[in-house]
Structures are given as structure tokens and as C-alpha cells.
Amino acid sequence: MKKPELEFFPVTNVDFTVCAGGNPLITERILSSDPDTGVATRILRYAPGADSTPMGPQRHGFWEEVYILDGSFVDLTLGETFSAGQYACRPPGMPHGPWRTDEGVLTFEVRYPAPQE
């Protein structure tokens, strides 16, 4: 299965849903995905006061590119704040987070699988 073919559409047509982990302050708007490969494009939203500490640091088996659209959050492991206009490219297995935000944050993310060797 592949990601669907989609022409321009208002992303507001896609509802935010609670992310894995069940914290209602951490939601995602999945714009397109392929559940067979883990390929996905999404908008991630941390509402003001959101804290992903219970989920601990994250590691994924896929590439992840993240651009912060609005707001900021703190990587609690690094003790560093990242804000609007910043970008990250994480290879499979790179630890990141957990995160906390006072003001809220909105990111645009693209995930794609690691090449098979």
C-alpha cells in the first residue's frame, strides 16, 4: 500500500486525534499515511501545559523530519528549548524528548522508513 494521491485540500478538514500515549493535550492531524510502511505526514500539536514525560524519550525505526510552525517546547533530556522556525532531521533510533511546553507548539512532520539493507 502507498500513501494516497491527494490534491490540495484544507488541512482543517482533517480532525486532530489524541496521539499514542493517550495524553489529551498531545494531538495529531494525520494528513496522509501508509500503515504498512509507517510513512506518514502529520501536524503535531502540544496544547499549553502538555508534558510527555510519562512516555519517556522516544526512538523510532523510521526517519523523522520536524519543522516547528508555531510556539515552542523543551526537550527535557537535553534541557534545551526549540521554537518556531527550527527544524530537525532524526535518523532511525535517535533518542529525543520527552517534551514539555508552557505556551503550546505546532509542528509539521514527515516520517519515512529506513532503507532496507
H or E, element range at 97: none
Q: What is the average per-residue pLDDT within 84-102?
A: 96
What pLDDT is attached to residue 61? Answer: 87
Whether the full predicted model's pTM is greater than 0.75, yes or no, is: yes
What pLDDT is attached to residue 74? Answer: 98
Q: What is the average per-residue pLDDT within 63-91?
A: 97
Q: What is the average per-residue pLDDT within 55-84?
A: 95
Quick: pLDDT tens for 14-31. Answer: 999 999 889 999 999 999
Closest residue by Cα to residue 50 from 93, 103, 12: 103
Pull the grid cell for residue 66. 520536524
Domains of the chain, earliest start first: 14-113 (2.60.120.10)
What pLDDT is attached to residue 117? Answer: 57
Q: What is the average per-residue pLDDT within 35-58?
A: 92
What pLDDT is attached to residue 73? Answer: 98
105, 112 contact by CB (below 8 A): no
Q: What is the average per-residue pLDDT within 52-67?
A: 93
